[in-house]
């Protein structure tokens, strides 16, 4: 298949619904598989542009072609077929965050991979400097669009737009590797030499965490599993959402003192922060309402009016990254945490609230991506060199080049349905690890715990945890296969030795994502120095027989059970793998004698 985009039509849609009538022109310049585009005005007056259709035409892929589409936000991904696209996971951009969509077209954001009869086709934006990209389609037609957000194009102005990538091939990973290289040229990845490991408070204590909980687990980690480096206080510590330097009643000794204790014990303190959100009663919202995105009356816009209000203490106001005062606030906030508290790891949650397409910015020429990236730049300046920034509940493409790590899935919850769903989300984004950022597959949980947990929609779920040993092994195998971060999510004080053993077997992280044979994510491989690691996953309710091809002779051990499987050449036949189970196979090559 040739590049059908080169001869496709384009369209510039004005805010008033009228045609541009040649007063605005789109120039597309293809260099191999990347198109640079710019908008040129020859008008005598400013024109308000709603959106720019870079390419549009007849859908070239058959209705049955399988698809993978990225979401605008971390929680959203899309699958299915051209004719019947579906949501992966439970939180779509259109329903959860209420992003506007075109009625007769399905919308994915910034990336679409089509698995068609004639090969795989990857269509994706390779930059996100100012504008958010959408790929819309049905079985008859497609359009690839940049949201211009009704901004003005001045007379004679030339506007550089985003780059677009197109490639056809047989192997999805080859296409995604090419895309990552194109993205890297525009947004160099903020990679670090060591993949973070640690412990996270949220999945055992939630927002009710106390200073005593942190101190007890710190002591247990010191004694039982000191390999975990970061101690992440994951929410629940602030007096109000937005007033991050003011501790709540559950932390009477203060966060600064607690962080210093963590360092004295030989670990690194890590903090959860929502840089772009604040509840209405917070001091920052009361004293500086001008720092937040505004409604039509010049008042802070409540996020629940047009979008999702927040998962607790909602509704939230949305910090405007285009406001100089808000930028100074972010710089000072993170500088204080670094210099006075000694924090170098920051989990930045809810950053989506800094990039929602609702409300007015202080800078009338700023797009939502402009404002978000300006705010993130201030965060980076405050956090300082050597810090680690993790994006969570984040806008995916707007975050390119602004964070060191990225959560790739919804929260882990101790139910099989959620573990399975989260696994699919994680593995669809394996290609991003080590290319765009370090992937965070969320925490590793190893023990059952009956605890209410707040979901991304703010609904409290009553979890009667009954995960089986097989399901825990499935979950651990997925965490390993992600290649990314390893943070324990259980109360270390309560774990049995076998639970700690599972965590230790994940350390240090592989720092290489498994390459799976296909999008069933059943058999994945990581080639490390001196050995081959194979992840085998049974997603079904039935036992599984699997034949795993080998490229030589290996001595094989199943990691979770420590079972020696003997020597195998050319093929390993795994029989009767239990439902909902996973195996991690360590394959040590054996040199064959010369013939």
- pLDDT confidence of 464, banded at 50, 70, 90? low
- pLDDT at position 424 over 60: yes
* Helices 211-224 and 255-264, packing angle to 10 deg: 10
Q: φ, ψ for residue 152 (rounded to 5)?
A: -85, 140
SS3 at position 552 = strand
Predicted pLDDT of residue 19: 84
- Report the alpha-carbon distance of residue 348 to residue 325 in Å, rounded: 20
Q: Residue 30 — very low, low, confident or very high, per pLDDT cuts 50/70/90?
A: very high
CA–CA dist 163, 120 (Å, integer): 20
H/E run at residue 401? none
- For residues 460 and 477, give the distance between their C-alpha atoms in angstroms, rounded to a whole number: 28
Q: Label residue 83 by pLDDT band (50, 70, 90).
A: very high
pLDDT band at residue 526 under the 50/70/90 scheme: very high
Answer whether residue 595 shows pLDDT above 60. Answer: no
Q: In whole angstroms, give the CA distance from residue 59 to residue 65.
A: 11
Please tell me the predicted confidence (pLDDT) of residue 159. Answer: 99
Structure confidence at residue 461 as a pLDDT band (50, 70, 90): low
Q: Rounded to whole angstroms, how far apart are CA atoms 79 and 30?
A: 29
> Which pLDDT score, from 0 to 100, does residue 462 have?
63
Report pLDDT for 84.
Answer: 98
Rounded CA separation 189/148 (Å): 26
Percent composition of the chain: helix, strand, coil (DSSP 3-state, to 5):
25, 35, 45
User: Does 594 score more than 60 pLDDT?
Assistant: no
pLDDT for 319 beyond 60: yes
- Threshold 0.75, pTM exceeds: yes
How many whole angstroms separate alpha carbon 547 and alpha carbon 559? 18
Vertex 501: Cα angle to 202 and 207 (nearest 5): 5
Task: Look at residues 148, 144, 146 and name the one whose alpha carbon lies nearest to residue 136.
Answer: 144
Q: Is residue 301 within 8 Å of 295, Cβ to Cβ?
A: yes
The DSSP secondary structure of 483-506, one letter per residue, reads -S-EEE-S-GGG--HHHHHHHHHT
C-alpha to C-alpha distance for 374 and 381, rounded to whole angstroms: 11
Reference 417, options 475, 491, 487, 503; nearest CA is: 475
Q: How much is the pLDDT for 463?
A: 67
| pLDDT, tens digit (0-9, with 9 covering 90-100), for 374-385 | 999 999 999 999
Alpha helical stretches, state H, 162-279: 172-186, 202-205, 211-224, 255-264
User: With bands split at pLDDT 50, 70 and 90, how would you rate the model's confidence at 205?
Assistant: very high
Q: Does residue 452 surpass a pLDDT of 80?
A: no
Is 286 in a helix, a strand, or coil?
A: helix
CA distances from 112 to 5, 71, 394, 407, 423 (A): 14, 10, 19, 20, 20
d(CA 128, CA 246): 35
Percentage of the chain with pLDDT > 70?
A: 99
Give the span between the Cα atoms of 523 and 533, in whole angstroms.
10
Q: How far apart are CA 524 and CA 535, in angstroms?
A: 5
Q: Which domains does the chain have, with CATH numbers?
A: 9-186 (no CATH), 197-274+320-505 (3.20.20.70), 515-589 (2.60.40.1180)
The Cα–Cα gap between 442 and 407 comes to 7
Residue 465 pLDDT exceeds 90: no
For position 258, what pLDDT does the model report?
98
Residues 6 or more apart from 501 whose CB is under 8 A from it?
none
CA-based nearest residue to 394, from 453, 341, 365, 352: 352
Q: What are phi and psi of 238, to 5 degrees?
A: -90, 150
Q: For residue 367, what are the CA distances in angstroms to 132, 154, 185, 320, 371? A: 9, 15, 22, 11, 6
Per the CB < 8 A criterion, the answer to whether 109 and 135 are in contact is yes
**CA-to-CA distance for 519 and 176, rounded, in angstroms?**
14
pLDDT for residue 156 is more than 80:
yes
pLDDT one-digit tens code per residue, 250-298: 999 999 999 999 999 999 999 999 999 999 999 999 999 999 999 999 9
Q: What angle do CA 299, 300, 303 make, to 5 degrees?
A: 135
| Arithmetic mean of pLDDT over the chain | 96
Name every residue whose Cβ is closer than 8 Å to that of residue 35 and which is 6 or more positions away in sequence.
5, 28, 29, 54, 163, 164, 165, 166
How many angstroms separate the CA atoms of 467 and 465, rounded?
Answer: 6
Rounded Cα–Cα distance for residues 159 and 298 (Å): 28
- The string of pLDDT tens digits covering residues 346-355 is 999 999 999 9
| DSSP single-letter state for residue 175 | H
pLDDT of residue 455: 75
Rounded to the nearest 10 degrees, the angle between the axes of helix 469-482 and helix 497-505 is 20
What's the full length of the chain, in residues? Answer: 595
- Indicate if the pLDDT at residue 301 is higher than 90: yes
Distance between CA 230 and CA 279 in Å, rounded? 28
Q: What is the CA radius of gyration of the chain?
A: 25
């Amino acid at each position: 298949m040739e590049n059908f985009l080169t001869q496709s039509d384009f369209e510039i849609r004005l805010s008033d619904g009228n045609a541009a009538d040649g007063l605005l022109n789109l120039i597309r310049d293809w260099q191999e598989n990347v198109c640079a585009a710019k908008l040129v005005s020859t008008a005598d007056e400013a024109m308000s542009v709603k959106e720019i259709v870079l390419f549009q035409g007849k859908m070239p892929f058959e209705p049955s072609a399988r698809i993978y589409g990225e979401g605008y936000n971390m929680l959203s991904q899309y699958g299915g077929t051209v004719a019947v696209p579906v949501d992966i996971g439970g939180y779509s951009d259109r329903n959860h965050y209420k992003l506007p969509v075109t009625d007769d077209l399905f919308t994915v954001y910034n990336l679409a991979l089509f698995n068609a009869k004639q090969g795989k086709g990857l269509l994706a934006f390779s930059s996100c400097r100012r504008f958010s990209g959408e790929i819309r389609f049905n079985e008859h037609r497609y359009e690839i669009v940049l949201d211009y957000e009704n901004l003005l194009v001045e007379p004679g102005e030339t506007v550089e737009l985003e780059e677009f990538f197109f490639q056809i091939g047989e192997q999805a990973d080859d296409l995604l590797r090419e895309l990552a290289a194109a993205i890297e040229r525009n947004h160099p990845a903020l990679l670090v030499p060591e993949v973070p490991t640690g412990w996270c408070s949220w999945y055992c204590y939630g927002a009710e965490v106390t200073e005593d909980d942190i101190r007890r687990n710190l002591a247990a980690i010191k004694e039982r599993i000191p390999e975990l480096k970061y101690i992440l206080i994951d929410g629940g510590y602030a007096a109000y959402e937005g007033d991050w330097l003011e501790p709540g009643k559950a932390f009477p000794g203060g966060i600064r003192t607690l962080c210093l204790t963590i360092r004295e014990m030989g670990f690194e303190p890590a903090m959860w922060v929502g840089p772009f959100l604040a509840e209405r009663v917070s001091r920052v919202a009361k004293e500086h309402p001008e720092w937040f995105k505004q409604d039509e009356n010049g008042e802070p816009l409540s996020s629940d009016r047009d979008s999702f209000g927040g998962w607790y203490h909602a509704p939230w106001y949305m910090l405007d990254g285009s406001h100089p005062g808000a930028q100074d606030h972010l710089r000072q906030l993170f500088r204080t945490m670094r210099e006075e508290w000694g924090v170098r790891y920051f989990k930045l949650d809810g950053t989506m609230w800094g990039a929602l397409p609702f409300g007015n910015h202080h800078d009338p020429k700023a797009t939502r991506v402009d404002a978000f990236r300006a705010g993130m730049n201030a965060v980076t300046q405050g956090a300082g060199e050597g810090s680690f920034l993790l994006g969570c509940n984040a806008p995916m493409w707007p975050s390119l080049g602004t964070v060191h790590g990225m959560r790739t899935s919804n929260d882990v919850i101790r139910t099989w349905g959620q573990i399975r769903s989260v696994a699919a989300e994680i593995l669809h984004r394996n290609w991003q690890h080590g290319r765009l950022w370090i992937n965070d597959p969320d925490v590793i949980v190893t023990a059952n715990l009956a605890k209410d947990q707040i979901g991304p929609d703010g609904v409290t779920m009553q979890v009667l945890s009954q995960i089986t040993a097989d399901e825990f092994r499935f979950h651990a195998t997925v965490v390993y296969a992600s290649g990314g971060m390893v943070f324990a999510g259980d109360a270390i004080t309560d774990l049995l030795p076998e639970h700690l053993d599972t965590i230790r077997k994940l350390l240090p992280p592989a720092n290489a994502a498994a390459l799976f044979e296909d999008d069933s994510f059943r058999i994945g491989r990581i080639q490390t120095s001196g050995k081959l690691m194979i992840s085998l996953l049974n997603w079904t309710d039935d036992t599984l027989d699997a034949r795993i091809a080998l490229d030589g002779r290996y001595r094989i051990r199943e990691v979770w059970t420590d079972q020696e499987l003997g020597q195998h050449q050319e093929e390993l036949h795994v029989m009767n793998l239990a439902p909902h189970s996973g195996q991690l196979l360590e394959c040590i090559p054996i040199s064959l004698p010369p013939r």
